[in-house]
Structure 1
Amino acid sequence: MAEPAPSNAAPPLKNSALIRRLFGLAWAYRLHCVRVLFLQLVLLTIGIAGLSFTGLGIDYIRSHVEGVSFDATVFGLVPPAAWPPLYVLAALACGVLLLALARAVLNFLYAVSINRLVQQKLVVDLRAEVYDKLQRLSFRFFDANNTGSIITRVTGDVQAVRMFVDQVLMQSVIMVISLTVYVAYMVHLHVGLTLACLATTPLLAWLSTWFSKKIEPEYRLNRTLFERMIQSFSESIQGIGVTKGFGREAEDRERFGRANRAVYEQQRGIFWKVSLFSPAVGALTRINMVVLLGYGGWLVIDGQLPLGTGLIVFAGLLEQFSGQVNSVATLVNSVQQSLIGARRVFEILDSPVEVQSAPDAVRCGRLRGAVCFERVSFAYTGITPVLRDIDLEVAPGQCVAILGPTGAGKSVLMSLIPRFFDPVSGRLLIDGLDARDLHLDDLRRNIGLVFQESFLFSNTVAANIAFGCPDATSAQIEKAAKIAAAHDFIMALPQGYDTVLGESGSGLSGGQRQRLAIARAVLLEPSILLLDDPTAAIDSETEHEIFEALDRAIAGRTTFIVAHRLSTLRRADFIIVMEEGRIVQRGTHAELMRQPGAYRRVAQLQLIDGAALHEEAEGRGLV
């Protein structure tokens, strides 16, 4: 019922603000994060301990081979002098083995903990929050964002937030802790060697910052291209009937192929840049090992540094340090992907909820159905008004038909009643109260909707009818179906009311789908019924069946019906004619036929066409 409108979303978040939001999101799971970081710290300690025991063993073997004194220690531990060498080496080997087993167990616990944090908690909660927000956003948001974009945000972009917490935030903290511990231990071993080996670190920091800024636009473009591909795919599936009907399968494949190739080629460009950056970082870290072999080897030969607990342990720490630094390339890659996706998720979460219940909203039961428009105007942001000074009063139980050309504002007028939008000026009164003062849920439970093309869910017939009233009994569902003249064809289905419908009600005719939609609206027992041209896309015979259902559905309810056929217009208590957002004529069918204007022109054209068709049918012996 809504018409396209521009988005009024907030401006995109800057990276600094976005990162603060992501840290705030992670803070909500701080206990899980602390548990993960504690496990990582224990793993780090065990790794250094295992490395130190290995170095101690090397020094012990060297002392016996070269016949030199042995005075090395690890964490203050010294092998007992009375032990034979075989006992000492066996004890050191068992220690290394036990540490390796403990490390394996803790790695498993770490993997479980990080998975529970990011997959079972954060992703599930965030996806639910985004979906909840989508349910509360107005039609303006959905008019401004295509289906492919919204689906991508709820699925892929939420995973990008997971990537930030898992692969950026947690890994960054782990990296900082690891590098701090490694550097502290290396300084403990030898200050000069540490400074010499880490001389390239400032260059690595600068290179990482430069690359991060360079690659960000690439990831932003990639996300846009991917979204276009999803949209192309979505449209292809939705329009498969049109595609096959016009024999455009080859062109459609080519269109999707172009979108798919654009994503591939752009991703390949990112891959090459990342692939060049990673070796560059690796080459710089290899310089550290060159320095270690030269300077560190000289220190060992000169007797200033032990071989095992000195150079070997230092080499292991430097290797671990280089490994953490090499992961900067992956970290930078993850940062840009996660920031692009997170920004799109927060765009949904930050979108204003334009239509909602006021804090002091009036709770109401069943409404009488009196509707009054008082000088109501409506416009989308920055666009010419769609409705202008609408004055209209409809008494409870009256049926008003709305006629007008495309773009006259008919559907928008009806959209204001359930508050899909709110007027820019003027008031819409329901039973004498401003619609904005009524609780939104209560208001909408009093309104039944039947669209021109009604949507049915992939569920049972009964569930589709009871969609707005899930607690309805079988007897209530059947009663609504009988009012909508749907009971007979439902019973002819394989499982009757328990028949599961295909996507969008595939397998049912247009008239059958409309009758199910009418039953769904009637089951609510609404005070107000809104019918948006429900017979426009069906044939005359089916129209007759629908009218029988509509006559029963309308009885006793305030009804607004957008219509263009005389057979529909004549059923109304009075008719309004709209042009360019204004009501230009109003009255009964008989009154409007006596007035020159749009209504009489439309009626006369339909009467002429109807007479011509009747004459042709008589000539062919059909009547």
Structure 2
Amino acid sequence: MAETLKAKSPHLKRFRYTQDIPVDKPFNWQQLVRLLKYVKPYAKTALPIAIIAMLVSTAVRLIVPVIIGNYVVDQVLPTGDTNLLLSFAVGILALYLLSYVGNAVRIKYVNILGQNVIYDLRHHLFSHVQRLSNRFFDNRSAGSIIVRIMNDINSLQELFTNGIINLLMDSIMLISIVIILLVVSPKLALAIMVVIPIMFYISTKLRKNIRRSWQQVRIQQSRVNSHLNESIQGVRITQSFSQEDNNTEYFHGVNDDTFQSWRIATKKSAMFRPFVEMSNAIGSVILIAYGSYLIIYDPQVTLGNFVTFTFFIGMFWEPISRLGQMYNQLLMAMSASERIFEFLDEKPNVKEKDDAIEMDDIQGHIEFDKVQFSYDEDRIALHEISLEMKPGETVALVGHTGSGKSTIANLINRFYDPTQGSVKIDGTDLRDVKLDGLRQNISVVLQDTFIFSGTIMENIRFGRPDASDEEVIDAAKVVGADDFIQRLADGYETEVEERGNILSAGERQLLSFARALLADPKIIILDEATASIDTETEVKIQDALKRLLKGRTSIIIAHRLSTIRDSDNIIVLENGRILEQGNHNELMNHQGEYYGLVKSQFQMLDQL
């Protein structure tokens, strides 16, 4: 399949991501211990039951060969006592039934343990990511984050559902078999186990390459998921530019890289099992040759001992083989856990102090005191901005793209902290307050409003989950959304898909107004909130906006200057600096930058 894709796409390398080289690190035992801490909550419930069940089934497997070799072969068969033989047969059958029950209980409870651990780990990671600062999401695609929460955690499932108990079971079985073989016949046991040091040496050589291969698999999976997320989100752009074929070719590249990384990793991992089987074959040859010699020439080695060894020789390599597979599984888990813990170790750039102040009720007095801010070291977004927004005042921020308007809004929400200076609300530095309390007093309406999968009712209620249906409907009526909602097939119970694609841009914006009004904030930020609404619709909701903004400190970011004429204060920004501020009449009389913006905008309208 991969060869076919290559033949169809002669320029495939143009669409390849740059190859990352996995970081070569020693096996991180601290990381393994950290993973096992997620098992701790179940250390008194599912885990002990699974361990007891495992010990029962393991004990049966160890006892039966000894009974057959030392008692049935060496004692019962020479005497021909059929009654005793029948008794042993019934006893062995009872032991196997006990082993069956033990295995059934073990499988049940290790799955309960594994699924609970995976649930807890995924919940922990998702909750942690939800609390990280905006800067974290600025540098990562949604696809790469989804890979960590879904694929990487799924990679740990086998470790927790079977790996831990199997590791314990195989270790106990291997040690027990070695002890039994040494007790039965030290000479024969040592002869068979001579291949173990060779096997150990080769396996240590393999594990470095295996681990690096699984790291590469995780990198490629992250890439393909990132591309899928971008392609699905941007499918309309792809279709509008007729780039479906090129996008498919691009996907062929990342998909083939993922395929190749899996092929290489599984190939290297698969090398271990045949090697163990070869060691098993060598051990069997030694048993037959040297065991037969000892039976003939060493009176201490009986036929029963030989039969016991025959049983145990198969059982001896079986746990070694599984331990090899377990090691590969552990390497996969370590590769995934490195990426999971990388996220869990991320700390929010916007940190909440231990003694942070709760902002239950605010007036909405906002101050910027010589605030400087930069998203990166190369570009300063705000240059020592000082401004004041009084309670209940409507303030408009205008200026060209990149002038710092949205940055001011982000600092008021405390999505970022100032590089220098301070942002205060009611005289309190935002770095001293609790984030939840602050943001519960602020509502933001964006140009590209986000609609969640669910009903219209649930989307409006998102800002205040405890609101009644009547309150939701009242909020929709105030902003003029009730009319179009009532025309939908199921009204407020109409299901909208991700991002609300069944709604027009204007309808989605009206829902965001209703959501903001229902939350009843003291501060409201409209970031190009009317840009997606046609002029006729905008006129209809002017009264609704007045109701929405009444009694609240309001920050309006707008390029359409007709929407901000009635603002109490208009702040004109350019390259992160305040050029001028005042109300509409004052700025028009001043005939500065604002006057020029208004004049040019109306000239454009006249030309239309």
* TM-score, normalised via structure 1 length: 0.89
The C-alpha deviation readout for 1:523-556, integer Å capped at 9, x for no partner, is 1111100111112233322333343432221122
Aligned mate of 1:17, from 2, 20, 30: 30
Does residue 218 of structure 1 match 2:213? Answer: yes
- Equivalences for 1:137-156 in 2 at 5 Å? 137-156=132-151
Decide whether the 8 Å contact of 1:515 with 1:549 is kept in 2.
no
Q: AA paired with 1:89?
A: L
> Does the 8 A contact of 1:229 with 1:256 survive in 2?
yes
Distance 1:396 1:51 in 2: 85
Residue 63 of structure 1 and its aligned partner are, at CA, apart by 1.4
Q: Aligned to 1:385, what secondary structure does the other structure show?
A: strand
Contact 1:369–1:397, Cα closer than 8 Å, also in 2? yes
Report the secondary structure of 2:94's partner residue. Answer: helix
Q: What is the CA-CA distance between 1:381 and the residue it aligns to?
A: 5.1
Which of residues 510, 513, 522 is equivalent to 1:515? 510
The aligned counterpart of 2:464 is: 469
Amino acid at match of 1:266: S
How many residues are paired up?
583
> What's the counterpart of residue 70 of structure 1?
none
Post-superposition offset of 1:491? 1.4
Which residue number corresponds to residue 39 of structure 1?
A: 53
> Offset of 1:192 from its aligned partner?
1.5
Give, in whole Å, the separation in 1 of the partners of 2:375 and 2:108: 50
- CA distance in 2 between counterparts of 1:170 and 1:598 reads 72
Give, in whole Å, the separation in 2 of the partners of 1:217 and 1:243: 35
Look up the SS of the partner of 2:294 in the other structure.
helix
- Distance in structure 2 (CA, Å) of the matches to 1:272 and 1:160: 18
**1:136 paired to 2:131:** yes
Equivalence for 1:72: none
2:109 to 87, 96, 113: 113
- Could you tell which deviates more after superposition, 85-94 or 376-385? 376-385
Q: Which moved more, 1:204-213 or 1:505-514?
A: 204-213
1:401-432: CA deviation from partner (whole Å, max 9, x where unpaired): 11122222221210111211122221211112
The residue aligned with 1:359 is 354
Q: Distance between the aligned counterparts of 2:585 and 2:606, measured in 1?
A: 19
Q: Which residue is equivalent to 1:101?
A: 97
Q: What is the DSSP-based 3-state SS (H/G/I as helix, E as strand, rest coil) of the residue aligned with 1:122?
A: helix
How far apart in 1 are the matches of 2:27 and 2:377? 25
User: For 1:233, what is the secondary structure of its paired residue?
Assistant: helix
Residues 170-202 of structure 1, C-alpha deviations (whole Å, 9 max, x = no match): 333332222111101111101111111111112
CA-to-aligned-CA distance 1:34-66 (integer Å, 9 cap, x gap): 4333322221110112222332323346414xx
Q: Secondary structure at the match of 2:532?
A: coil
Q: 2:251 aligns with which of 215, 231, 256?
A: 256
Identity of aligned residues (%): 34
After the TM superposition, which residues 301-450 of structure 1 pair with which residues of structure 2 at under 5 Å, given as runs? 301-305=296-300, 307=302, 309-380=304-375, 382-450=377-445
The Cα of 1:109 is off from its aligned counterpart by: 0.4
Aligned to 1:550: 545
**2:163–2:326 Cα contact (<8 Å) kept:** yes
Counterpart Cα distance in 1 of 2:567 and 2:409: 16
Distance 1:48 1:61 in 2: 20
In structure 1, which of residues 480, 490, 504 is the aligned counterpart of residue 485 of structure 2?
490
Alignment deviations for residues 208-241 of structure 1 (CA, whole Å, 9 cap, x no partner): 2221111222111111111111111112211222
* 1:543-622 pair list within 5 angstroms: 543-595=538-590, 597-613=592-608
Cα offset for 1:522? Answer: 0.6
User: Could you say if the C-alpha distance between residues 187 and 416 of structure 1 is closer, same or farther in structure 2, counting changes exceeding 3 Å?
Assistant: same
C-alpha separation between the residues in 1 aligned to 2:566 and 2:217? 55
Distance 1:448 1:108 in 2: 55
1:236-315 superposed matches below 5 A: 236-305=231-300, 307=302, 309-315=304-310
Deviation larger for 388-397 or 569-578: 569-578
When normalised by structure 2's length, the TM-score is 0.91
Work out the CA distance in 2 between the residues paired with 1:357 and 1:134: 15
Moved more, 546-555 or 92-101: 546-555
Residue identity opposite 1:271 in structure 2: T
- Whole-Å Cα distance in 2 between the matches of residues 29 and 212 of structure 1? 31
- The secondary structure found in structure 2 opposite 1:429 is strand
Contact map agreement 2:276 2:317 (CA 8 A) in 1: no
Q: Which moved more, 1:599-608 or 1:514-523?
A: 599-608
Q: String of CA shifts for 1:352-402, please: whole Å, max 9, x gaps.
A: 133354322222333111111111122235443322211110111111111
Q: Are the counterparts in 1 of residues 397 and 555 from structure 2 also a CA contact under 8 Å?
A: yes
Q: 1:197 to 1:381 in 2, by over 3 A?
A: farther
1:324-370, Cα deviation, whole Å (9 max, x unpaired):
11224312321221011111111121111333543222223331111
- Alpha-carbon separation, structure 2, partners of 1:305 and 1:591: 112
Q: Secondary structure at the match of 2:545?
A: helix
Contact kept, 8 Å, 1:13 with 1:343, in 2: the verdict is no
Structure 1 equivalent of residue 191 of structure 2: 196
1:518 Cα deviation after fit: 0.6
Residue 88 of structure 1 corresponds to: 84
One of 173, 185, 192 as aligned partner of 2:168: 173
Supply the distance in 2 between the matched residues of 1:290 and 1:444 (Cα, whole angstroms). 74
Task: Report the secondary structure of 2:354's partner residue.
Answer: coil
Change (3 A) 1:43 1:398: same
Please state whether the residue corresponding to 2:452 is helix, strand or coil: coil
Q: Deviations over 1:239-259 (max 9, x none)?
A: 222222222222222222222
The one-letter code matched in structure 1 to 2:156 is V
Kindly provide the amino acid, as one letter, of the partner of residue 105 in structure 2: L
Q: Distance in 2 between matches of 1:441 and 1:271?
A: 47
Match of 1:57 in 2: 72
Judged with a 3 Å threshold, the aligned counterparts in structure 2 of structure 1 residues 386 and 97 are, in CA distance, closer, same or farther, namely same
Tell me the SS of whatever aligns to 1:387.
Answer: strand
The AA in structure 1 aligned to 2:310 is: A
Other structure's SS at 2:379 match: coil
Aligned-residue offset at 1:460: 1.3
How far apart are the structure 1 equivalents of 2:26 and 2:547?
Answer: 53
- Which residue of structure 1 lines up, in the alignment, with residue 15 of structure 2? none
Higher mean alpha-carbon deviation, 219-228 vs 276-285, is at: 276-285
SS at structure 2 position matched to 1:368 = coil
Gaps of 5+ in 1: 1-10, 65-83, 614-623
Q: Describe the superposition over 1:473-514 as per-residue Cα deviations: whole angstroms up to 9, x where unpaired.
A: 122112211221111111111221122212211211111110
CA distance in 2, matches of 1:322, 1:419: 60
Q: Which amino acid aligns with 1:22?
A: L
More displaced, 506-515 or 277-286? 277-286
Shift in alpha-carbon separation, 1:42–1:383, aligned structure 2, 3 A: farther
Deviation at 1:30, TM superposition (A): 3.1
* 1:83-105 CA-partner distances (Å, limit 9, x unpaired): x7221221121112111111111
